[in-house]
Amino acid sequence: MPAMTLARLSPAAAPPPFRTAVRSLFENARLKAFFFSLEGTVFDEATRDGEAVIAETVSLLGRLAEASEGAVAVLGERSFAEIDRRLAPLRLPGCASGGLELRGLDGATTKSRCDGDLDAVRRLIARPGVVASGVNVVDEGLSIALAHGDDAELAAAARATARDAVALAPAVYAMRSGAGVVRIGFAGASLGRAIHRLMNDAALIERIPIVFGGGRGDDEIHAAARDFGGTSIEVGGRCDHAADFALPGMNDVRWLMRDFLAALGEA
């Protein structure tokens, strides 16, 4: 069944087709668990429009976590230290470093073992001419991001550099594509597997996931949502996604978050 694209909506009103399409999402809201992929959604919006736009989203995330009795998790490529800094004062469960770090609903954090390091990749991209001019390199600790924005030529150049990096040790490294960025990380990193582990937490095992993602690398989290009978929502303009629904941007996600808060009976 093809995914349905939801038109951009104002917080005050929504066309009847949208109401019909998503009405079932708000039923039994207390049996839902909410997962938000940060790259391509919250952090991408902040990069584009300024950090101030995160404030309202952070407030809504905190309110949703409280109303759902803690059933809100974030999925990130950056470390938990960076995620917590940008979402302060929240310290939400979820995964970081592409799935290599996991924080349960009890607040305990575990880190997967990595076979090797990224030093060979760092040496490669430090060579003159290896990274195209205009591609921004960000060392995230357990991954290295090649940010190319919306430029198609820079995107192709970044992917070529990432493929060369992965070829240094194909059993150790992997390339992950997201919204405006290509990442070089460890082959064992997986946001989809992180959702599986989190959904097996005793506090979530009876719940149904609602997953928000944005970018080519988030197709695995859309698949993970379906593995648990949940619903996946792609955020952004990508057409070739694997989600059940698509929303134009984070403003629309905030609109949905408010609706979920109403369904949860927030005062």
Contact status, residue 125 vs residue 161, Cβ threshold 8 Å: yes
Place of tokens 């799935």: 99
Judge if the upstream peptide bond of residue 17 is cis by omega within 30 degrees of 0.
Answer: no
Spatial distance between the Cα atoms of 206 and 31, rounded to a whole number of angstroms: 7
Model pLDDT for residues 163-172, shown as the tens digit of each residue: 999 999 999 9
Model pLDDT for residues 79-97, shown as the tens digit of each residue: 899 899 989 999 999 999 8
Parallel, antiparallel, or unpaired for β 32-37 and 72-75? parallel
Contact status, residue 180 vs residue 148, Cβ threshold 8 Å: yes
Q: Delimit the domains of the chain by residue range.
A: 26-112+190-263, 119-186
Spatial distance between the Cα atoms of 83 and 95, rounded to a whole number of angstroms: 10
pTM, two decimal places: 0.82
Structure tokens at 97: 């470093």
**In a structure prediction context, what are the per-residue pLDDT tens digits for the chain, which is 267 residues long?**
444 444 443 434 444 455 566 778 888 999 999 999 987 678 766 566 566 668 888 999 999 999 999 999 999 888 899 899 989 999 999 999 889 999 999 999 988 877 778 999 999 999 999 999 999 998 888 889 998 988 899 999 999 999 999 999 999 999 988 777 889 989 888 899 999 999 999 889 999 999 998 866 678 898 999 999 999 988 876 677 778 888 888 888 888 899 899 999 975
Spatial distance between the Cα atoms of 111 and 43, rounded to a whole number of angstroms: 23
Contact status, residue 173 vs residue 165, Cβ threshold 8 Å: yes
Model pLDDT for residues 223-232, shown as the tens digit of each residue: 999 999 999 9
The domain at 26-112+190-263 falls in which architecture?
Answer: 3-Layer(aba) Sandwich (3.40)
Structure tokens at 79: 């470390």
